[in-house]
Structure 1
C-alpha cells in the first residue's frame, strides 16, 4: 500500500472511531509499527491528528477547559435529566460528594430540600446553591479557579485524603473507550483521582457530547467507577461500544 493510501486509511479510521492504535493499524495495513509511527509523526506535523500513548486522536478530540458561563448553557436539558436520575440514586442519610461542574450543580438543586445528607463539594456555585438548605455542607476550600468556580490546590488534596463518602458524582470532561476518563489539566485530574479514592461508590455524570473525546490529563480507566449516567442523545453505536466495558444509565 502506498504512503498516501496508508495515511488516508488512518484518517478514515480516526473519523469513524475517534482514535487509532499503532498495533491495530500495523495489522490492518500489513506494515511495521515503526512505519505507522512515522506516518503519525508526519501527519501530526501537518495538523491532521494529535499523537497519544500508543496511537492518535483527531485534533478536535482533545477537550479544553470551558468557561463556566459557556458550560451553563450547553446541553442544559440533558444535564437536568441526568441530575434527576442521579438524585434518585441517593439513599437516605448518605454522605455524598459533588464534583465541580454544571451537571452536579443540577443535582444540588434537586437535593437541597432534603435534610438527611452530608454534601462535600469543591465547587463554589454548588456551595452557594446549598447555602440556605438544611443539608450539612462541607466545602474543600482552596484556590478558586476563575471563570470556572472550582477549588484547586493543596487544601483540596488534604481534605479529600482525610474523608470517606458513600457516593460520588464525578464530572467528566472527556470519555474515551481506551483512554478512559480525562481532564483538561493535571491538577483537575489529580483532584478527581483523590475523589475516586475517597468514595465507596462512584458515578460519572456526563452528557452525550463528552463521549469519544480525550482531554490532556488521564483520570482513570472505565473499570475504576461503577458506571456513567448519561442522556438519551448517545448514539446507538456508542451505546453498544461502551456498554461492553461500563454500566450506562440513561436519563
Structure 2
C-alpha cells in the first residue's frame, strides 16, 4: 500500500474515532511504527490531524462535546469501577470537591466516609448527597450549562476560591502529556482550574479512551495532577510514560 492510500485510510479512521494510536495503526496497516509516525507528521503538516503522545486526533474534534445523557450511557462499567476506587480514597473528615460529570456522580453514590464536606458544581451530585447522612454539601452558584449539567462561570469560580480542600476529583475529555488535561468548553475549563487551585491533591477520573485525546480548552498541565484513576484496559506504555513524570495511574 502506498503512503498516500494509507494516509487516506488513516483520515477515514479518524472520522469514526476521536483518537487513534501509533501501535494500533501499525497493526492495521502492517507497517512499522516509524512509518506510521512519518505518515502522521505529513498529515499534520497538511492540517489533516493533530499528533499527540503516541497517536493522533482529528483536527475537527477538539470542540466536540457529548451531552450528559450520552456520556451517562457510555462505558458504564468503567465509570463504576473508577468510582469504586475513588470512593475508597475519601476518608472520614475529608473536605473534597466533586466536579460535575457522570463518573463523579458515580463516586457520590458510593461515598461511605462520614463527617465529610463536599463542594460541587453539579446539581445531580448535590441531589445525590442530600440523601446521605454525615455529609455537608456546598453547591457552587453560577450559570447552568444544560449540556453538562454543571454550574460554571465567575460565580462558580469565586465559590471555589473561598475554600481549601484535601482532594478534588476532576472529570475531563482529554489527557495528553504534551497538551495537558483538556475539555471542549473554555468556560468549563476555567471553573475546573478554580477547583484544582484550591485542592491539596488533584485526582482526575477518566476512562482509558480519554488518553491521547486533545480538546479545545486546557485545564492544566498533566504535572499539576496528583493521580489519575482510569479503566483497566489502559495501555501499559501509557502508564509508564505518566509515571516517569510523577503522575500515578491507578487502575485497581
State the secondary structure of the residue aligned to 1:178: coil
Q: Name whichever of 148-157 and 97-106 sits farther off.
A: 148-157
Q: TM-score, normalised by structure 1?
A: 0.79
Q: Tell me the CA shift for residue 130 of structure 1.
A: 1.1
**Uncovered stretches (5+) of structure 2, i.e. residues with no partner:** 12-19, 25-33
For these two proteins, the number of residue pairs brought into alignment is 221
Q: Tell me the CA shift for residue 51 of structure 1.
A: 8.2
Matches within 5 A, 1:200-215: 200-215=200-215
Runs ≥4 residues deviating over 4 A? none
**What's the counterpart of residue 89 of structure 2?**
89
CA contact (8 A) 2:63 2:185 kept: no
Deviations 1:147-193, CA, capped at 9 Å, x for gaps: 32100122101111111111111111110121110111111111111
Deviations 1:183-210, CA, capped at 9 Å, x for gaps: 1111111111111111011110111111
Q: Tell me the CA shift for residue 123 of structure 1.
A: 0.6
**What's the counterpart of residue 116 of structure 1?**
115
CA contact (8 A) 1:63 1:174 kept: no
Distance 2:231 2:243 in 1: 14
CA contact (8 A) 1:115 1:133 kept: no
CA contact (8 A) 1:182 1:220 kept: yes
Q: TM-score, normalised by structure 2?
A: 0.78
Judged with a 3 Å threshold, the aligned counterparts in structure 2 of structure 1 residues 17 and 161 are, in CA distance, closer, same or farther, namely farther
CA contact (8 A) 2:123 2:150 kept: yes
**What's the counterpart of residue 16 of structure 1?**
22
Distance 1:175 1:95 in 2: 25
**What's the counterpart of residue 199 of structure 1?**
199
The higher radius of gyration belongs to 1
CA RMSD of superposed structures (Å): 2.7
Matches within 5 A, 1:1-251: 16=22, 40=44, 43-44=46-47, 48-50=48-50, 57-59=57-59, 62=62, 64-111=64-111, 114-134=113-133, 135-245=135-245, 246-251=247-252
Distance 2:240 2:51 in 1: 26
CA contact (8 A) 1:61 1:212 kept: no
Distance 1:93 1:83 in 2: 19
Distance 2:80 2:199 in 1: 23
